[in-house]
């Protein structure tokens, strides 16, 4: 089980929603925490609520590779090597794929997918190097996806696409980083008490060219729905529980378990028992080597606690 106390954590989207819940739980565990967020006013409010503990703020657009590097350098210069990374920042656009524009794609993928990629590419090589040299022992990378990484309705189409990709990225990274004693988890929250419904407020001007007018009535309805969302501190505590157990998937909400089971059953039902074609036995022999290796790696990740 990973010991969290004394570690330096970097949390994107850390000023509200799931992020601030993670931050408060980390501070309670004795971590030094960097809150990375695109809104300086939100960072200032978050810092003012945290009793001046070992926490700092850094303004960051997660879609910027250079900005991520600069933020990482600034945090590590003040708090030391980051060994807990939370790629949590996210935005949403509640519309279907066919009704979306390229600007919509560039905005949502820039934050929800490339933001995770930028966090991983900034910190994972540093964590690997420090683990190999003995500078750090263990560590964890946690990527926030969503139940939308399993449940993909028509809307929000681009959001679903990004979250499915974050799940795949996290699974792959988990199987490579285990070699250095570093865990990787992907979080799948359901409805959260947050302001993600108002994402248009922080949409870059450069990506508003093909933007549809904001549906203020829908935003108001979503604001009401999100009032019933899970409290961030509860989610944060459940995420840390998942990290301690090094779970591949951290499901903070029990709300969707039956639905996911139904979806997996429907997926398996799409298989057909076709007759064996030429080359079948050779393919199965090759796949057995891969399958055995994959099973051994999964076992290793489960045992790394």
For 39-82, the DSSP string reads -HHHHHHHHHTTTT-SEEEEE--TT-HHHHHHHHHHHHHHH--E
154 contact partners, CB below 8 Å, separation of at least 6:
96, 97
| Tally of helices (H runs) and strands (E runs) in the chain | 10, 7
d(CA 58, CA 61): 10
What does residue 141 show for φ and ψ, rounded to 5 degrees? Answer: -115, 125
In the chain the domains, ranked by start, together with CATH numbers, are 8-303 (3.40.50.720)
Q: What per-residue confidence (pLDDT) applies to 197?
A: 61
Rounded CA-CA distance 15/43 in Å is 5
DSSP 8-state secondary structure symbol assigned to residue 250: E
CB 245 within 8 A of CB 140: no
159 is catalytic: yes
Q: Against a cut of 0.85, is the pTM above it?
A: yes
Q: Which residues contact 292 (CB under 8 A, 6 or more apart)?
A: none
Task: State the pairing for strand pair 32-37/183-187.
Answer: unpaired
CA-wise closest residue to 193 among 246, 245, 107, 252: 252
Interatomic CA distance for residues 293 and 299, integer angstroms: 10
CB within 8 Å of 305: residues ≥ 6 apart: 1, 2, 244, 245, 246
Closest among 247, 112, 116, 90 to 174, alpha carbons compared: 247
pLDDT per residue of the chain (305 residues) written in tens, 0 to 9: 799 999 999 999 999 999 999 999 999 999 999 999 999 999 999 999 998 679 999 999 999 999 999 999 999 999 999 999 999 999 999 899 999 999 999 999 999 999 999 999 999 999 999 999 999 999 999 999 999 999 999 999 999 999 999 999 999 999 999 999 999 999 999 999 876 666 778 898 998 888 877 666 666 665 666 577 999 999 999 999 999 999 999 999 999 999 999 999 999 999 999 999 999 999 999 999 999 999 999 999 999 86
Which of 102, 159, 171, 197 is labelled catalytic? 159
* Of 119, 92, 162, nearest in space to 10 by CA: 119
């Amino acid at each position: 089980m990973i010991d969290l106390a004394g570690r330096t954590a970097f949390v994107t989207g850390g000023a509200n929603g799931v992020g601030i819940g993670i931050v408060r739980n980390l501070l309670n565990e004795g971590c030094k925490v960097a809150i990375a967020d695109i809104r300086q006013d939100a960072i200032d409010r978050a810092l003012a609520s945290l009793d001046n503990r070992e926490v700092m703020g850094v303004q960051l657009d997660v879609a910027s590779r250079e900005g991520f590097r600069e933020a990482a350098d600034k945090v590590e210069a003040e708090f030391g090597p980051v060994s807990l990374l939370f790629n949590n920042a996210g935005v949403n656009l509640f519309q279907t794929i066919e009704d979306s524009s390229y600007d919509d794609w560039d905005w949502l993928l820039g934050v929800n997918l490339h933001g995770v990629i930028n966090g991983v590419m900034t910190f994972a090589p540093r964590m690997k190097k420090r683990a190999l040299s003995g500078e750090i022992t263990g560590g964890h990378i946690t990527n926030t996806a969503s139940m939308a990484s399993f449940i993909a309705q028509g809307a929000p189409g681009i959001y679903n696409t990004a979250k499915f990709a974050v799940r795949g990225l996290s699974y792959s990274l988990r199987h490579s980083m285990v070699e250095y004693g570093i865990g990787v988890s992907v979080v799948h929250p359901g409805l959260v008490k947050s302001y993600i419904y108002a994402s248009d407020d922080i949409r870059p001007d450069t990506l508003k060219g093909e933007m549809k007018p904001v549906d203020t009535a829908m935003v108001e309805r979503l604001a009401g729905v999100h009032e019933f969302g899970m409290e961030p501190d509860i989610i944060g505590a459940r995420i840390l529980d998942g990290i301690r157990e090094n779970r591949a998937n951290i499901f903070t909400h029990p709300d969707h378990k039956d639905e996911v089971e139904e979806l997996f059953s429907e997926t398996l039902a799409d298989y057909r028992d076709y007759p064996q074609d030429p080359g079948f036995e050779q393919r199965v022999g090759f796949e057995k080597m891969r399958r055995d290796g994959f099973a051994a790696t999964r076992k290793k990740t489960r045992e790394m606690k």
